[in-house]
Amino acid sequence: MYSLNDIIDIMEKKSYVVFSDDSKNFNLNIVGIRNEDETANTFNDYMVIFWKYRGQWHQFAFSITTDPGVYWRENPINVNGTAILKPGQYRGMWQLGKHQGKYEALKQVKPVTVYRDKNKNLVLDRGDEETGLFGINHHRATSKKDFTSTQVDKWSAGCQVQPNPVLFDLEMQMFKTAASIWGNSFTYTLLEEIDFK
């Protein structure tokens, strides 16, 4: 994992906003880091949620996937190919809402840019770009409360997915608290491991 200072440095070099107003708690920065190892079906990427309060930085870091699982790579929902979120900062991308109408998660409400991978193999291909609302949510990978997923499989068709339902519940508590203080709008920043080299 990378240090918080490294993450903030990269964000500032890319002229991304770092939320640092610490007059109230939980002014959240949500950052995904895509691993250079793009082995299919693995939760080998990272998410770091960090915020400043009373002069001190706090962080919560865990494994996720930023890539679609094998099933959706081989069986794209979209005729143009499976969605792979393009690195960047997406201001106000998410709000609290229901993932597929089923349970509370962070739901895409503003356009993002994705690559379209259309050759239906296991390799991530950064094909044509498309910008719009594609349902790129942040949700959990399992319906079982006591089970951590070890493979992405059908859990992601381009979403940013948390394999551990207990950690996801902690995230949701944090997001609800943040929304009550700062408003129901969450910015997501996706970096790549190569950014740190």
pLDDT tens digits, residue range 128-155? 899 999 999 999 987 666 677 777 777 7
Output 173 or 144, whichever has higher pLDDT.
Answer: 173
- Mean pLDDT score, 3-23: 97
Give the model's pLDDT for residue 102.
87
Are 79 and 35 within 8 A, CB to CB? no
Where do we find the tokens 């991530």?
Answer: 124
> What three-state secondary structure class fits 35?
coil
Which of these, 58, 45, 52, lies nearest to 1 by C-alpha position?
45
Q: What do you get for the CA distance between the two ends of the chain, in Å?
A: 13
Look over the chain and give the mean of its residue pLDDT values, rounded to a whole number: 91
Per-residue pLDDT of 157-168, as tens digits, reads 789 999 999 999
Per-residue pLDDT of 30-79, as tens digits, reads 999 999 987 778 889 999 999 999 999 999 999 999 998 777 777 778 77
Range in 11-15, 33-37, 142-146, 191-195 the model is least confident about: 142-146
Give the model's pLDDT for residue 71.
75
Output 150 or 109, whichever has higher pLDDT.
Answer: 109
Per-residue pLDDT of 88-107, as tens digits, reads 999 999 999 998 888 899 99
Alpha helices by DSSP H, 48-149: 70-74
Fill in the amino acid letter for 68: P
Which of these, 59, 60, 28, 31, lies nearest to 45 by C-alpha position?
31
Give the model's pLDDT for residue 144.
65
Burial label, 94 (beta-carbon count in 10 A; 0-12, 13-18, 19+): buried
- Mean pLDDT score, 191-196: 95
* Greatest C-alpha distance within the chain: 50
Beta strands in the chain (DSSP E): 29-34, 45-53, 56-64, 82-85, 88-99, 103-108, 112-117, 129-132, 138-140, 160-162, 186-192
Which of these, 48, 73, 161, 180, lies nearest to 123 by C-alpha position?
73
Q: pTM of this prediction? A: 0.93
Give the model's pLDDT for residue 151.
74
